[in-house]
Structure 1
């Protein structure tokens, strides 16, 4: 299964937003700059995250994005479904019933075994993604980071975070 680049961008963006102060927001342009991605492409995914209730949009020239829920309440599955949509990755179109020399419909009374296997794998994949929160990713990074990654993010936020309470 291949997920679009937007999933990676969305997960990293949500992770970055988790580092904001309680009254802080970050613009889409700043998020795109930090990750070295196209602002217009990232904006599309931020809108999807907003529509899914993962991020909150603050309008206006000093506006931007912040998390709509706490990092413990946002899972990787939430982000994947927001960006990619809820449809299963595998979609059975019953090609086993096509082609020359058709056989009786009674032979297709049971669901396609290939479809069943693929849906079972997707359920396992989604279950695993639902077990990993943004807070879990932050904790894992804290264990592996020598401080360089955290310092890079903090320095960027220091320059680009906008405060909504006009401080």
Structure 2
């Protein structure tokens, strides 16, 4: 399974927004600068997150994006579905019913084993994504990210937000 890079960007943006001081927002230009990604493409993903209620926008000086609900209530599955949609990854087209070995419809009482296996794997993947929150990722980053990178991030945020 291949996911769009927008999912990675969206998750990173959510974790950064979750780490901001209360009442702070970042415009799309600053988010794209921080992650060194194209602003216009990131804006499209942030709009998807906004439609899903994961982020919200504020206008005026100091405006931009912030989380739309507590980080403890945003899962990786929420972000993935906001960016890529909720449609199943595997689409069974029932090719077993075509070609020279095909038989009557009555012979196909169950979905094929391939489809069942793929759907089961996807369900497990979605359950795992549902278990991980943005808050958990922020806590994990606080423990695992190099202190120098954290220091540089805080310094950049302070310069950027005036805080």
> For the Cα contact (< 8 Å) 1:25–1:162, is it kept in 2?
no
Inter-partner Cα distance in structure 2 for 1:61 and 1:113: 57
Runs (4+) of structure 1 exceeding 3 A deviation are none
Greater Cα shift, 69-78 or 58-67: 58-67
| CA-CA distance at 1:134 after TM superposition | 1.1
> For the Cα contact (< 8 Å) 1:10–1:46, is it kept in 2?
yes
Aligned match of 1:103: 103
Greater Cα shift, 70-79 or 146-155: 146-155
The one-character-per-residue Cα deviations of 1:8-65 (angstroms, maximum 9, x if unpaired) are: 0000000111121211110001000111100011000000000000001113464210
Are residues 3 and 14 of structure 1, via their aligned partners in 2, closer, same or farther at CA, if it must alter by over 3 Å? same
Aligned length: 163
> For the Cα contact (< 8 Å) 2:18–2:71, is it kept in 1?
yes
Aligned match of 1:24: 24
CA RMSD of aligned residues (A): 1.6
TM-score by length of 1: 0.91
Inter-partner Cα distance in structure 2 for 1:148 and 1:86: 38
> For the Cα contact (< 8 Å) 1:74–1:134, is it kept in 2?
yes
The answer to whether 1:63 aligns with 2:93 is no
- SS of the counterpart of 1:18? helix
> For the Cα contact (< 8 Å) 1:71–1:133, is it kept in 2?
yes
Unmatched runs of 5 consecutive residues or more in structure 1: none
| CA-CA distance at 1:136 after TM superposition | 0.9
| CA-CA distance at 1:159 after TM superposition | 1.9
Greater Cα shift, 145-154 or 134-143: 145-154
Are residues 17 and 121 of structure 1, via their aligned partners in 2, closer, same or farther at CA, if it must alter by over 3 Å? same
Larger RCO of the pair (alpha carbons < 8 Å, separation 6+): 1
> For the Cα contact (< 8 Å) 1:20–1:161, is it kept in 2?
no
Q: How is 1:10-159 mapped onto 2 (pairs within 5 angstroms)?
A: 10-60=10-60, 62-159=62-159
